[in-house]
Amino acid sequence: MGIRALVASLAVLVLVPMSALPATAAPVESRAQRGAAALWESDFAADLTEQECGSWRLDSDGFCTADDSRNGVELGTRFETSRELTITGVRVYRVDPATITGSLWDADGNRLATATFDPLVRKGWQDLVFATPVVISPGQTYIASYYSPATKYAFQYDYFRRAVTRGPVTALRATETSPNGVHCYDVATCSFPVNSFRDSNYWVTPLWPTPGTDTPEPPTDPPTDPPTDPTPPGADVEPPKVRTTAPSRGAKGVGLARTIKVTFSERVQTKGLTKANVRLLRKGHRKPVAVTMRYDEGRNRLTLDPKGGLRAMTRYHVVITSRVLDLSGNPLDQDPRKPGIQPATFTFTTR
């Protein structure tokens, strides 16, 4: 082929409009899409602990990662928009090295767009750009998802106990009839992600353009529930939190006969004070230490009495999950400024 013919052929390839490509053959970008906004930045780190991962692994970026034994799973986030918005793709925290796809769905299970991610170079955030962007409307629910054929994914339990809003997009608060943090296993009967487990976040977000700027829109602080679930005027929406602890956070030289006291910012429901929701753990052990719990409603104080006492020269970790609720049903959130629900945690070391 002559030089002129080769140049002409390349010019034709470059000038083919993106809209002429099918949605399933979309080009993708491994790095963050320039000028795109999302629920989480491409350098966001979850900063979770090993205890919050249960039996699964904590990676170096603080994400809990699962390596399930089933044969593939679609994982998604349900969301709405407050205005007409163009969805350009999806962003996921990726740990599956196999070929994965990303999709956008409507509430009826119609797949509005899909594409294949670039091969995995290293685990972490990865963006996918649809060949043809999709315009979505306010008042409708959508799902951004990705498919992991090896059933390897990142997650955070109890994340969607509260809605998370960034710019015009709200990831919806999970309810009994309308869950969030949705999935569909290949072995299940679902045709798109509608099932859930513990309101978990699977770290997948839609991407949308930021008008007039190359920087993402700032998150709304604090997050609010979507317009479809308005809060009545005067209602208690303040989450409970741990106000003080004894021993204090990071304390050293703690006596072996010591009890642990946790004082909440307000009265909490006693039915939520269970061994699953309040855990005392020894460093390097996943099984909680057996304790007797007593709750003083007048002082909003919970006392943990370790059965058999504490061990010498041992570091202990106390975890209180968001399944502890106040009298209005608000879940515990130790730092409402952060996305999702933050459990209360502290450590101390015995002498």
Taking only the tens place, the pLDDT of each residue in 122-143 is: 889 999 999 999 999 999 999 9
- Residues 341 and 204 occupy one common structural domain: no
Look at residue 73 and tell me whether its pLDDT is greater than 60: yes
* Residue 27, pLDDT score: 37
Using the 3D structure, point to which of 209, 231, 255 is the last residue of a domain: 209
* Residue 2, pLDDT score: 53
- Residues 259 and 155 occupy one common structural domain: no
In a domain, 76, yes or no: yes
Q: Which range has the worst mean pLDDT, 154-158, 218-222, 343-347?
A: 218-222
Segment 234-248 mean pLDDT:
87
CATH of the domain at 25: 2.60.120
Which pLDDT tens digit goes with each residue over 101-121?
999 999 999 999 999 999 988
Mean pLDDT, the chain, as a whole number? 83
- Residues 266 and 134 occupy one common structural domain: no
pTM over 0.75, yes/no:
no
Per the model's pLDDT, the better-predicted residue between 18 and 236 turns out to be: 236
Look at residue 224 and tell me whether its pLDDT is greater than 50: no
Q: Which range has the worst mean pLDDT, 79-83, 132-136, 211-215, 314-318?
A: 211-215
In a domain, 284, yes or no: yes
- Name the residue range of residue 26's domain: 21-209
* Residue 211, pLDDT score: 66
- Residues 160 and 288 occupy one common structural domain: no
Look at residue 227 and tell me whether its pLDDT is greater than 50: no
Per-residue 3-state assignment (H helix, E strand, C coil) for the chain = CCHHHHHHHHHHHHCCCHHHCCHHHCCEECCCCCCEECCCCCCCCCCCCHHHHCCCEECCCCCEEEECCCCCEEEEEEEEECCCEEEEEEEEEECCCCCCEEEEEECCCCEEEEEECCCCCCCEEEEEEEEEEEEECCCCCEEEEEEECCCEEEEECCHHHCCEEECCEEECCCCCCCCCCEEEECCCCCCCCCEECCCCECCEEEEEECCCCCCCCCECCCCCCCCCCCCCCCCCCCCCCEEEEECCCCEEEECCCCCEEEEECCCECHHHCCCCCEEEEECCCCCCCCEEEEEECCCCEEEEEECCCCCCCCEEEEEECCCCEECCCCECCCCCCCCCCCCEEEEEEEC
Look at residue 281 and tell me whether its pLDDT is greater than 60: yes
Between strands 291-296 and 57-58, the pairing is unpaired
Which pLDDT tens digit goes with each residue over 5-21?
444 444 444 443 433 33
Look at residue 159 and tell me whether its pLDDT is greater than 50: yes
* Residue 288, pLDDT score: 86
CATH of the domain at 271: 2.60.40.1220
- Residues 136 and 262 occupy one common structural domain: no
In a domain, 234, yes or no: no
* Residue 295, pLDDT score: 95
Written as one letter, the residue type at 208 is W
* Residue 264, pLDDT score: 95
- Residues 128 and 203 occupy one common structural domain: yes
* Residue 336, pLDDT score: 75
- Residues 55 and 176 occupy one common structural domain: yes
- Residues 166 and 255 occupy one common structural domain: no
Segment 305-334 mean pLDDT:
90
* Residue 139, pLDDT score: 92
Look at residue 280 and tell me whether its pLDDT is greater than 70: yes
Domains in the chain, number: 2
- Residues 134 and 280 occupy one common structural domain: no
* Residue 276, pLDDT score: 83
* Residue 94, pLDDT score: 96
State the pLDDT confidence band at 36, using cuts at 50, 70 and 90.
Answer: confident
What percent of the chain has a predicted confidence (pLDDT) above 90? 57
- Residues 204 and 319 occupy one common structural domain: no
Segment 162-176 mean pLDDT:
93
- Residues 45 and 183 occupy one common structural domain: yes
- Residues 200 and 106 occupy one common structural domain: yes
What percent of the chain has a predicted confidence (pLDDT) above 70? 82
Q: Which range has the worst mean pLDDT, 81-85, 227-231, 251-255, 303-307?
A: 227-231
